[in-house]
Chain A
Amino acid sequence: EPEVTQTPSHQVTQMGQEVILRCVPISNHLYFYWYRQILGQKVEFLVSFYNNEISEKSEIFDDQFSVERPDGSNFTLKIRSTKLEDSAMYFCASNQGGGAWNTEAFFGQGTRLTVV
């Protein structure tokens, strides 16, 4: 079964540093997403990406964050000047698209980001 893969599985970084989280969505999918989940809290939407541009973003996704699809397979989330409160699980997801009926998004296993 095709799957979304994320690397690394765990990243530790010092406060103020930049991190790049990487994702390989399912190959024929058209919509890509990043979510985060702070420990013990709900899964929060950050951004969606379609046709090589951001299609939606939440209020969490401010200038500290950026996304990129540098080639035909990778989808990255960059977090600049990391803060302690950025510590969370970050999930990448993809959806095949095709209409309102297709609500099945495939999530990766996540990257646990720890800012120290």
Chain B
Amino acid sequence: LAKTTQPISMDSYEGQEVNITCSHNNIATNDYITWYQQFPSQGPRFIIQGYKTKVTNEVASLFIPADRKSSTLSLPRVSLSDTAVYYCLVGALASGGSYIPTFGRGTSLIVHP
């Protein structure tokens, strides 16, 4: 599985756009990039997934450059409720045939009033 590196923590203010960048230099050709969100004492929650270029859903956008060695999760106009840990995951099927979400330390985002 490709190793990912993302900032340990970030601070923002309500109403701002937040961009969290993840580097994954050894991403494999068939790897997808997935972001999860986790609130304290809750299970991780899928936010968005992409392979290349830009993906947007009702929650976030994911920007992936052509070389795919990094990706940026963009959260538009954050609110206090976006305070959470955000994980960047890179990987595809494991040797046994199943996809295994593998989590790193994530980025702890704190949104201030």
- Stretch from B11-19, B41-49, B65-73, B74-82 at the A interface: B41-49
- The number of A-B residue pairs with CB atoms under 8 Å apart is 79
Give how many B residues have a beta carbon under 8 Å from the other chain's beta carbons.
Answer: 30
CA distance A35 to B87 in the complex (A): 15
Which of B32, B94, B106 interacts with A56 by CB under 8 Å? Answer: B94
Q: Please name the 4 residue pairs, one residue from A and one from B, whose CB atoms are nearest each other, closest first.
A: A107-B43, A55-B96, A100-B92, A43-B103
Give the distance in Å from the alpha carbon of A42 to the alpha carbon of B4 in the complex. 14
Interface residue A7 (Cβ < 8 Å from any Cβ of B):
no
Q: Are B94 and A48 in contact (CB under 8 A)?
A: yes
CB neighbours of B106 from chain A (8 A): 42
Rounded to whole angstroms, the CA-CA distance of A102 and B49 in the bound complex is 9
Residues of A within 8 A of B30 (CB): 100
Identity of the chain B residue whose Cβ is nearest the Cβ of A50 in the assembled complex: B98
A45 pairs with B38, CB closer than 8 A: no
> Within the complex, what minimum Cβ distance (angstroms) separates B45 from chain A?
7
